[in-house]
Structure 1
Amino acid sequence: MDSRMKFKWIASATIICVALAVIYVTKAFIITIIWSLFVAYLLHPLYSYLLRITKNKQVSALLTLSLVFAIFLICLLVVLNALKTEVGLLESHYTIQDTANNFLIHVSGFAERYVPDASQYAEWASRQFEDFSKDAVPKLLSLVSGASGALTGIASKTVIYLAQFFVSVLLVYYLLIDGENAINKATHLLPERELISKFLDELKPIYQSLFNVYLITCLLIGVTAAIGFFLLGISYPLLWGIIIAVVALLPLVGAGAVYAPMALYYLVIQEYTLGVAILVFGIVFLTVIPENIVRPRLAMQTASIHPAITLLSFAAPLFVLGAVGIVVGPALYGFLLAVYRTNIRRREEEEASAAASDGEEPVC
C-alpha cells in the first residue's frame, strides 16, 4: 500500500470519526433538525410564490415565517378563548353535577324509547353516575395538583425548549433561502449525476404526493368543518375545525372520530335535526368528497401512489417513533419507492436502447 492510499484511508477514517462526533454532540437537536427539514419542505411552495412577488429571498422567507406564526397565534387564541369560557362554566360544583344529571336524564329517556327493558336499569345508572359526579371534583383537584408538578418539570427544561425552538426557526429560514442551492451543489459533487438526477425527478413528485397533497387535504377538511359547523350553529366552530384538521392527519382515525360522536351527542339530547345534519354533513363533505374527489384530483398533478403505501408510511412509524414518525415514515417509504421507480425507468430505457440498436440494419 503506497503512501497515497494510506493517506486516503486515514483521511476517510478521520472524516467518519468527526462525522460521528458531530452527530453525538448534536443529538439533542436531531429531532429539531428533522422537523425543520420537514417544515421547510412544506413551506417551500409558499416561499417560491412570495419570491416571485418580492424578488428578494430574505423578505420572502421572513414573510413565510410571519404568516405561519400568525396562523398558529390565531389558533392558540381560539383554543385559549374556548378554555377560558368552559372553565368559567365549570367553576361551580353544582354546575358540573347538574349538567351530568341532565345529560343522564336525556340518555335514560333515549334508552327507554329505543332499548327494551331499559327503565329497570335507569335508576341504578342514575345513582352510579351521581356518585361518580360527586367524586369527580376531588379527583380533578388531585389531577390539577399533579399537573402543577408536571408543569414545574417542564419549566425546568424551558431553556432547552427555547433553544430548540429558535434553532428550528433559524434552520427553516436558511433552508428556505439556501436549501435548493445546497441540494444542487451536493448533486453536482456526487458520481453518476445522470442517475441521481433521474432519482430526484422520481423523488420530488412522490414527496409532493405523500406530504403536500395529504396535508392540503387535511387543511381543506378543517376549513370545511369550521364553515359547516358555523352554518349549523355549533359552538366554537373554528376550534372544532382545528381539531378535525389535526385528527384528519392521523391515519386510521380521520374526521369521523369527531363528527360521529358529536352527531350521537345531539341525537341523545333529542336534537334530532341537528344530529342528522351533522352526520350527513360529516359523511358527505368531510369524508366522501375529500377522499374521493379532492385528494385524487390533487394527486393527479403529482406521482400516483397506492393508498396502501400511503397508509403504511404514515401509520406504521407512529407506533415505533412517535410523532416524528409522521415525518420519518413517509420520507423513508418515499425514498425506497423512488429507488424502485428509478431502477424500473433505467431498465426500460436500457431495453428501449437495446431494441433500437438491434433494429438498425448493419452497414456493409
Structure 2
Amino acid sequence: MQEKLERRSFIFTLLLVTVAFVLLLQPFFTAIFWACAVALIFHPLYRYLLHRFPKWPNLTALLTLLLCLIVVVIPVLLVASSFVSEAVDLYQRVQSGEINLGAKVEQVRAAFPGINAALERFGLDFDGIKERLLGGLMTAGSLIAKNALALGQNTLNFFVSLGLMLYLTFFLIRDGNALVALLIRALPLGDEREKLLLAKFAEVTRATIKGNLVVAVTQGALGGMIFWALGLPAPLLWGVVMTVLSLLPAVGAAIIWFPAALYLYSTGEAVKATVLMIFGVLVISLVDNILRPILVGRDTKLPDYIVLFSTVGGLIMFGISGFAIGPLLAALFMAFWEIFMREFISRDEPLLPPGDQSPLDDLSKPGGSTQTSGD
C-alpha cells in the first residue's frame, strides 16, 4: 500500500513538474519548433559530413548550421525586410491618395461590363464586394504597418529568439539520434507506436517545409519576377503574397496574377496582360505539378482538403509558423487514429455492412432505406 501511494505521488509530481516546465518554455515554442524542423531537414547533410569527418562531430554540426544560416536564414531575413518595407510604402501611398484603389477597380469594371451581370446571376453586388475588398486591403496594410513598427521596437527580442533557435538547432543536429532514442525510452506509449509517430512527425515536417515551402517560394519568386519584368509596382511584395497563397490548396498564386492581368487588359496593356496570363498558366501554375511529386512524394501527401483546413487553422492559431504546424498536427491526428483502428478495433468486425459498398449508397436511394443483400 505504501509503495503504491509513493508511486502515484511520484507520477503526480512528475506531471506537475512537466506542466510547469512546458509553461516555462511557452514563450520559446516557435523557436523550439523551428529548431526541430531545421534540424530534421539538415540532419541528412550532417550525416553525410560526419561520414567524411567522423572524428569531429562538433565541427561537422557547426558547419551544417553555418550552411543552414547561409542558405535559409539570411535570405529569409533579407526578403522579409524588403517585403515589410514595400508593404508599408504601398500602404502609405494608398492612404495619402497617391494611389486610388477605388478608381482602379472602377476602371476594371468599365473595361469588362459583363462583370456586373455575371455577379447578379449569383446574387452578388459588385459595389458591396468592392467595399469589402478595399476595406480588407486597407486593414491588411494597416496591420503590416503596425507589426513593422512593433518589430522595430522589439528587434532585440527577435534576435534573441533567433539566436536561441540556432543554438538549439546545433545540439539537435549533433545529438538528434540520441535524443530520439531517449524520447522513445521515456514515453509510455509503446516503442513501436512512438517510432511510428516520430517517423510521421519527421515525414510531414520535411514534406511541409522542404516540399510545400519550396514549391510556394518557387511560385512566388516566378510571380515576383514576371511582375518586375512587366514593370508592375511592388513586385517583391506581390511575390511574397503569392508565396503565402501558394501554400493553400485550391487558392494558389492565381488569386494575385489573374486579377493583375485583368487590370492590365482594362488599362489597354494587352501585350503585358497576355504575357502575364500565359506565364501564369504555363509556368507558375505548372510548378506545383512538376516539383511537388519530386520533393514531397505522392505517398506522404495529405488530402488537399485536410491541408487546406489545417493550414488556414494553423495560420490563425500560430501565425506564420502555422503553415507548418497545422498540417503537422493534422498528420499526427490521422496517425493516432490509424494506430487506434489498427490495434483497438477488432479485426473480425467488418467496417461495412455485408453486401454493401457504403451505407451512404443506400441513403441516396429513394426512400432512404438500408437494403442488404442476402447470401
Q: Under TM normalisation by the shorter chain, which class is it?
A: 0.5 to 0.7
* Distance (whole Å) between structure 2 residues aligned to residue 252 and residue 231 of structure 1: 27
Corresponding residue for 1:175? Answer: 172
* Distance (whole Å) between structure 2 residues aligned to residue 318 and residue 155 of structure 1: 22
Name which of 311, 316, 324 aligns with 2:313: 316
Name which of 178, 197, 213 aligns with 2:211: 213
Name which of 282, 297, 302 aligns with 1:300: 297
Corresponding residue for 1:63? Answer: 67
Cα deviation for residue 83 of structure 1 reads 7.7
Note if contact 1:187-1:196 (Cα within 8 Å) is conserved in structure 2.
yes
1:32-91 per-residue CA deviation (whole Å, 9 max, x = no partner) reads: 32343334434445555665666622221222223323312542575488689989x97x
Matches within 5 A, 1:243-258: 243-250=241-248, 253-258=251-256
Gaps of 5+ in 1: 119-142, 352-364
SS in 2 for 1:317: helix
CA distance 1:279–1:306, change in 2 (3 Å): same
* Distance (whole Å) between structure 1 residues aligned to residue 71 and residue 192 of structure 2: 38
Question: TM-score of the superposition, structure 2-length normalised?
Answer: 0.65
CA distance 1:161–1:280, change in 2 (3 Å): same
> How large is the Cα RMSD of the aligned pairs?
4.4
Note if contact 1:199-1:342 (Cα within 8 Å) is conserved in structure 2.
no
Deviates more, 1:58-67 or 1:47-56: 47-56
Corresponding residue for 1:22? Answer: 21
SS in 2 for 1:316: helix
Higher Cα radius of gyration: 1
Corresponding residue for 1:32? Answer: 31
SS in 1 for 2:252: coil
Q: Write the letter of the residue equivalent to 1:9.
A: R
* Distance (whole Å) between structure 1 residues aligned to residue 22 and residue 157 of structure 2: 18
Q: Write the letter of the residue equivalent to 1:193.
A: D
Cα deviation for residue 280 of structure 1 reads 2.2
Identity across matched positions, percent: 23
CA distance 1:218–1:80, change in 2 (3 Å): closer
Note if contact 1:209-1:305 (Cα within 8 Å) is conserved in structure 2.
no
SS in 1 for 2:300: coil
Cα deviation for residue 271 of structure 1 reads 0.6
Corresponding residue for 1:137? Answer: none
Question: TM-score of the superposition, structure 1-length normalised?
Answer: 0.67
Note if contact 2:311-2:322 (Cα within 8 Å) is conserved in structure 1.
yes
Note if contact 2:314-2:326 (Cα within 8 Å) is conserved in structure 1.
yes
Cα deviation for residue 274 of structure 1 reads 0.8
SS in 1 for 2:5: helix
Note if contact 1:245-1:255 (Cα within 8 Å) is conserved in structure 2.
yes
* Distance (whole Å) between structure 2 residues aligned to residue 70 and residue 156 of structure 1: 21
SS in 2 for 1:26: helix
Note if contact 2:310-2:330 (Cα within 8 Å) is conserved in structure 1.
yes
* Distance (whole Å) between structure 2 residues aligned to residue 347 and residue 209 of structure 1: 29
* Distance (whole Å) between structure 2 residues aligned to residue 181 and residue 218 of structure 1: 33
* Distance (whole Å) between structure 1 residues aligned to residue 323 and residue 299 of structure 2: 20
Q: Write the letter of the residue equivalent to 1:30.
A: F
* Distance (whole Å) between structure 2 residues aligned to residue 201 and residue 155 of structure 1: 39
* Distance (whole Å) between structure 2 residues aligned to residue 226 and residue 53 of structure 1: 40
Gaps of 5+ in 2: 55-59, 117-141, 349-375
Cα deviation for residue 291 of structure 1 reads 3.7
CA distance 1:62–1:52, change in 2 (3 Å): farther
Corresponding residue for 1:135? Answer: none
Q: Write the letter of the residue equivalent to 2:181.
A: N
Cα deviation for residue 255 of structure 1 reads 0.6
Cα deviation for residue 340 of structure 1 reads 3.3
Cα deviation for residue 167 of structure 1 reads 1.8
Note if contact 1:202-1:341 (Cα within 8 Å) is conserved in structure 2.
no
Note if contact 1:107-1:268 (Cα within 8 Å) is conserved in structure 2.
no
Deviates more, 1:153-162 or 1:263-272: 153-162
Deviates more, 1:255-264 or 1:296-305: 296-305
Corresponding residue for 2:40? Answer: 41
1:91-112 per-residue CA deviation (whole Å, 9 max, x = no partner) reads: xx8xx65x759x959965x766
Q: Write the letter of the residue equivalent to 2:4.
A: M
Q: Write the letter of the residue equivalent to 2:291.
A: V
Matches within 5 A, 1:201-350: 201-229=199-227, 240-250=238-248, 253-287=251-285, 289-300=286-297, 302-343=299-340
Report which of the two has the higher share of helix.
Answer: 1
Cα deviation for residue 275 of structure 1 reads 0.7
Matches within 5 A, 1:154-169: 157-169=154-166
Q: Write the letter of the residue equivalent to 1:27.
A: Q
Cα deviation for residue 322 of structure 1 reads 3.9
Cα deviation for residue 244 of structure 1 reads 2.3
Q: Write the letter of the residue equivalent to 2:74.
A: A
Cα deviation for residue 276 of structure 1 reads 1.8
1:3-50 per-residue CA deviation (whole Å, 9 max, x = no partner) reads: x32332232222222222223333322343234333443444555566
Note if contact 2:28-2:161 (Cα within 8 Å) is conserved in structure 1.
yes
Note if contact 2:32-2:165 (Cα within 8 Å) is conserved in structure 1.
yes
* Distance (whole Å) between structure 1 residues aligned to residue 187 and residue 146 of structure 2: 53
CA distance 1:23–1:229, change in 2 (3 Å): same
* Distance (whole Å) between structure 1 residues aligned to residue 297 and residue 29 of structure 2: 34
